[in-house]
Amino acid sequence: MNKISECRGVAWWQAPALPPSAHLSSTVRLPGSKSLTARWMLLAAISTQTTRLVGALDSADTRAMGRALAQLGARVHWNLDACVIKPFPRSDTGQLIIRGGVHINAGQSGTVMRFILPLAAMAHGTVTVDCANNARHRPISGLVTALGGLGVSIASQPANRSGFPLTIHGRGQLLGGTVTVDARASSQYISALLLAAPLMKNGLTIHLAHHELPSAPHVEMTIRVLQSCGIDVVVSDGSWAIQPPDSSQITLPHDVTIEPDLSNAGPFLAAAMVAGGTVTIENWPAYSQQPGMAYLALLHRAGATFAEKSPGNLTCHGPATIRPLSVDMHDVGELVPTIAAICAFADGQSHLSNIGHLRGHETDRLQAITNELTKLGISATTTADDLIINGHSRALHGTDLDSYADHRMATFGAILGLRVPGIRVANMETTAKTFPQFVNMWETMVTNG
């Protein structure tokens, strides 16, 4: 196993490299989807009965969600194979009682910092929401403005900017109504409002201020989860409408099974691409709203072939030569670091377009990818919205890569290190944000071939 060493406060991970003649033949079982886990956790907290989320992802982000829900009054318990949630208490009239007078730290989780705001707006008292210092740049103003349009008072510190920490003055159930949202910075604004809409007295109709929505599959995922709970979402061009259920009560199944995280499958599928071998992902769903489903089409265009090794198990066969890609990644931006790592091994120019919103993720991912590929000997440039990579497998050489405290950039480094000896990645432990088992699973895959 590759050890992590520390130097001047930076923990360095020596990325394991396969010999040039080695070909992978590995099988991987992934943890549950972070995006689905977060949505089901929130819905379980506002439902009428205790829910067991089987296969829920246990990671830094989902733990942050659990702590936030617990501070607002739910009970959250993690065990080996599930997350068990007892919902918020209710008044004699059946209204949810969301606790005020609390301080919530979302850590580095954009999902928590956005999803929790509409719930905090319905608390009985003031709620402060903060996050990690290196996450305070993440966009939130569109959601704050939308909640203000619903009558919610939210103050930021300092007062002259719309950023964390935020103080939400909760006054119980929101009336709802109609709101217009600028969601160009994040689709999570829409998902956050949709998840809270069933609690609003008059329901909620959401209109997009601009016909531009990044990561649209995540909104589709939110709608599908709501529909699974009997909540009807009326969708039209650039708008969504939800009427409150009877007595504002939502009932979930006692047990909900969470799909594997298909975005986290990316580095392992990429391993088959750059190593020219095969990797099998267990329990791959036949259908899913997860953006990770797009890996199938993207990698096929780059030269991969896929087969179902056994029912539910998907096998990726890497090509002898990786083809450059020219694709619009607007709807699946979270896949960009993995696709960019693959494109570095394609001899030719790849163009990943319409992804300017990635500048507001854990880091400016477009600039981060460009910086690190340049260190490796690859010519890469950015425009306002695009990433252009001049792949050249023979130009790649070992170097130290920064993870930028970004889990996707950390796995980006691991993919490159698989075929380029001498790569070290800084602060690989950041993968615990969404995939605590990553380092162990990656090293096991390389060791076992």
- Contact predicate 427/415, CB 8 Å: no
Q: Rg of the chain over CA atoms, in angstroms?
A: 22
Of residues 254, 124, 249, the one with CA closest to residue 198: 249
Cα–Cα nearest to 240, from 196, 279, 291: 196
Please indicate if the annotation marks 186 as binding a ligand.
Answer: yes
138 is in an annotated binding site: yes
Dist CA 115 CA 130 (whole Å):
13
For residue 427, the 8-state DSSP code is T
Beta bridge partners of 136: none
Angle, helix 216-228 to helix 34-45, in steps of 10 degrees: 40
Token pair belonging to 15: 């990325």
Cα 317 from Cα 305, distance rounded (Å): 5
For residue 302, the SS3 value is coil
Q: Tally the C-alpha atoms within 13 A of residue 274's C-alpha that lie toward its C-beta.
A: 32
Dihedral, CA of residue 253, residue 194, residue 199 and residue 104, to nearest 10? 90
User: Catalytic residue numbers?
Assistant: 334
Could you give the C-alpha distances from 360 to 55, 436, 446, in angstroms and in order? 30, 23, 33
39 known member of a binding site = yes
Query: Do the annotations mark residue 110 as ligand-binding?
Result: yes
Contact 196, 168 (CB under 8 A): no
Say how far apart CA 368 and CA 94 lie, in whole Å. Answer: 49
Contact 181, 142 (CB under 8 A): yes
> Angle, to 10 degrees, between the axis of helix 188-196 and the axis of helix 110-120?
40
Is 184 annotated to bind a ligand? Reply is no
- Please work out, in degrees rounded to the nearest 5, the angle formed at the alpha carbon of residue 79 by the alpha carbons of 73 and 83: 45
Q: According to the annotation, is 361 in a ligand binding site?
A: yes
365 marked among binding-site residues: yes
Best CA proximity match to 218, nearest among 157, 168, 289: 289
Confirm whether residue 21 is marked as ligand binding.
no
Residues with Cβ within 8 Å of residue 28, at least 6 apart in sequence = 265, 268, 279, 280, 281, 282, 441, 445
Q: Could you tell me whether strands 424-426 and 10-14 are parallel, antiparallel, or unpaired per DSSP bridges?
A: antiparallel
Look up residue 318 and give its amino acid.
G
| Residue 34 is labelled as binding a ligand | yes
Q: Does 47 belong to an annotated binding site?
A: no
Going by the annotation, the residues of the binding site are 34-35, 39, 110, 138, 186-188, 215, 334, 361, 365, 408, 433
Going by the annotation, the residues of the binding site for 3-phosphoshikimate are 34-35, 39, 186-188, 215, 334, 361
Going by the annotation, the residues of the binding site for phosphoenolpyruvate are 34, 110, 138, 188, 365, 408, 433
